[in-house]
A and B are shown apart, each in its own frame.
Chain A
Amino acid sequence: MFPRPIEKSPRAWQLTYQGLLPIALIFWLAPLIAVAVFSIKPAVDFTQGNYWGLPSTFEGAANYGQVFFNSDMPRYLLNSVFITVPTVIGAVGLSCMAGFALGIYRFKSNLLIFFMFVAGNFVPFQILMVPVRDLTLDLGLYNTKTGLVLFHIAFQTGFCTLFMRNFIRALPFPLIEAARVEGIAEWKIFWYIVLPLMKPAIAALSVLIFTFIWNDYFWAIVLTQGPESQPVTAGITSFNAQFRAAYHLMSAGSIVAALPPVAMFFLMQKHFIAGLTLGAVK
C-alpha cells in the first residue's frame, strides 16, 4: 500500500492526520457549505449585511417551503425526472444489445463500428447543435421532453456501448460456446445467459447516465424553453431571475436542484464508482 499505512507511523503523526482530515474537507467543500448556510438564513440577514454570522433566525423550512410551494421548481424537477428516466432506460437498453453484438461476435467491421461509437461520444456538442435543433423542429418535437429524450438516448448510446462492450468482453466466453454447442438460439443466449451477468454493469451505467442527464444544461437550453418542458438545470436560471438578489431562496433552489443526483450517488455509491472507474485498473 502506498503511501505507507498511517498505523505504522508515530502516534503524533497519526493524530495530526486525523485532525487534518476534517479541516481539509471543510476547505474543500467551503463554497458548498456557504450555500447551505445561506439557504437557512432569513432575508433580513442579507439586507443587514450579516452574511457570515449565525443566522438571526432559522428559516430553513420557510425558504425551502417557498421553493417547493411558491415557484415552478416542482414542475422543473418533475420534468427532469421525465427526461432522465426514459433516457436511462433507452440508452442502457440499446447499449446492452449493441454491446452484446460487439463483445461476442467476430465480424469484419466490428472494431470500426465500436470506434464509431467511441469517437461519437467524444464529439463537441456544438457540432451537433444546429442540425439536431433543426431536426427536432422538423419532427415537431421542439420544446418537448420527447425531443430531448430521443437525442439524449442517441448520444449516450455511444458511451454506454463502449462501457457494455468492454464489460461483456471480460465475461467468460466458454459459457457462450457451451450454450451454442447445446443449440440454444442466439437471442436466448443474450436474454438468459449474458443479460443476467450484466446486472452490475447495468446498475453502474444507470446511475452514471442518470447523473449525466440530470445535470445536462446545454441541450436543455437548445431544445426546450419554458416551464412546461425544461429540466431543473435550465429552470434554475428562470428561478433565479424570479428571485433576483434573494440569496436565501436562490441558495435553497440550487440545493434542491443538485440533490437528486447526490442522493443517487450516496445510495448507489459502489455502482457509481465502479462505473466511473471502469478501465482505471488493468
Chain B
Amino acid sequence: MTYATVPDRHPPSPGRRGWYKRNEIAVTPWLFLAPAILFFLFYVIFPIYQSFTVSFYSWDGLSDPTYVGLENYRELMDDSAFEVSLWNNFKWLVLYLLAIPVGLMIALFLNQTVTGIRLYKSLFFFPFVISQVVVGLVFTWFYDPTFGLLNTFLGWFGLPTVNVLGDPTLATYGIIAAGLWPQTAYCMILYLTGLNAVDPEQIEAGRLDGAKGARMLWYIIIPQLKPATFIAFVVTIIGALRSFDLISIMTNGGPFGQTRVLSFYMFEKALSEYGFRMGYGAAIAVVLFLIMLCFIAYFLWSMWKEEKGH
C-alpha cells in the first residue's frame, strides 16, 4: 500500500470530527484564558470580596472573628488619625499631579537632537528605575538637618536649617516631593514619546499662521499629546493613592502620625506592632478602595469609549 505513506492533508468530513474540532474556535479562547483567570480570581478578585467581609468583623488574625456589623466604620468616623490620613491622601492626589506639567516641561527641554541627547534623556529618566525604598533613603539623607544636601545648599544663601521630615506640617510635603522625582521622570518619558509622534505638517501650518511659543504649545501640540496625557494622568493618580513605600521608609508615619495616608494607616492597624486589628484595617482598605474605584470607573469608561470607537 505505497500510496498510504502520503499523509491525508484534507480536513476530515464534518460529521466525523470530534466535539473539540467542531467547537475549536469557541473553546480555544477559554482554554487559553483559564490559567490567567483562575490565578486572578484566586489572588485578586476573591480577596477584594473577602476584605469587604472582614471589615464587618473584629478579628486579630488568630482567634475566631466576631461579627460587629458597621462598628469598624463607625469607629473610623471618630478616628482623628483616619481623618489625617484621608486629608494627606488628598494632598498626595493634588500635588502628585504636578508631575504631569513638570514632566512635559522637561520633555520639551530635552526634545532636541544635539549630540549626546539620548544619554541625557536616559539619565533624566533614571530616578524612575530605582526602587522607591532607595528613593526614600536618598531623600531622607537629602533632607537631613546635619549633613543633608538641601540644608548645605540653604546654608550657602544664609538661610536657616530646616528639618523637613521632623516638622509635622512640612513632612508630608517633603515625602511628596521625593515621590514626584520618579513620577516626573515617568511623565517626561511619556511626553518624549508623544512629542516624537507629533505631526510636523500641523506644526508647519501653525507656524505659517504665526503661532509660536506658548500658543503653539497650547493649541497645536498639547491636543496631539492627549493619549500621553491620559496615561500620565492614570499612572499618576494610581501612584498617588498607592504611596506607601516612601512613607514607610522616610518617616514611618511620623512625626506624631502626621504623614500617614490611608494605605499606610491600614497597614499599621492590621499588621504592625500597634496590634493586629484585621477588621479595622480592612475597613480602612475598603474606604481607600472606594476612592480608587471612582478613578478606575472613569479610566474604564474612557477605555470603553475608545474600544467602541474602533
Contact = CB atoms under 8 A, between A and B. Distances in A.
A185 B249 CA distance: 53
B154 interface: no
Contact of A6 (B112, B228, B286): B112
Interface in B32-50: 32-33, 35-37, 39-40, 42-48, 50
B138 interface: yes
B131 A261 contact: yes
B138 A32 contact: yes
Interface string A5-40: 111000000100110010011001111101100100
B193 A273 contact: yes
A158 interface: yes
B100 interface: no
A206 interface: no
B44 A155 contact: yes
A21 B120 contact: yes
Contacts of B285: 124, 126-127, 129-130
Contacts of B54: 130-131
A279 B142 CA distance: 35
Contact of A130 (B126, B193, B281): B281
Interface in A102-150: 102, 104-105, 107, 110-111, 113, 115-120, 122-135, 150
Q: Which range contains the number of B residues in contact with the other chain?
A: 35 or more
Given A34-B141, A131-B50, A254-B138, A98 B32 contact: yes
A116 B36 CA distance: 11
Contact of B113 (A5, A94, A254, A281): A5
Contacts, number: 294
A97 B35 contact: yes
Interface centre among A21, A25, A262, by most chain B C-beta atoms within 10 angstroms, is A21
A233 interface: yes
B137 A116 contact: no
Interface stretch (A56-64, A65-73, A196-204, A211-219): A211-219
Q: Classify chain A's interface size.
A: 35 or more
B289 A124 contact: yes
Contacts of A186: 24-25, 28
B51 A131 contact: yes
Interface string B212-239: 1000110011000001100100100010
B3 interface: no
B251 interface: no
Contacts of B257: none
A3 B191 CA distance: 13
B108 A3 contact: yes
Contacts of A276: 186, 189-190
Interface in B166-219: 181, 186, 189-191, 193-198, 200, 203, 212, 216-217
Nearest to B266: A126
A31 B24 CA distance: 58
B28 A29 contact: no
Interface string A44-80: 0010010110000000000000000000000000000
A24 B29 CA distance: 51
A38 B28 contact: no
A277 B28 CA distance: 31
A101 B271 contact: no
B161 interface: no
Contacts of B114: 6, 14, 17-18, 21
Closest 3 CB pairs of A and B: A154-B43, A215-B131, A131-B47
11 contacts: A2-B217, A14-B114, A28-B123, A49-B147, A51-B147, A97-B36, A98-B37, A124-B263, A125-B263, A129-B285, A215-B130
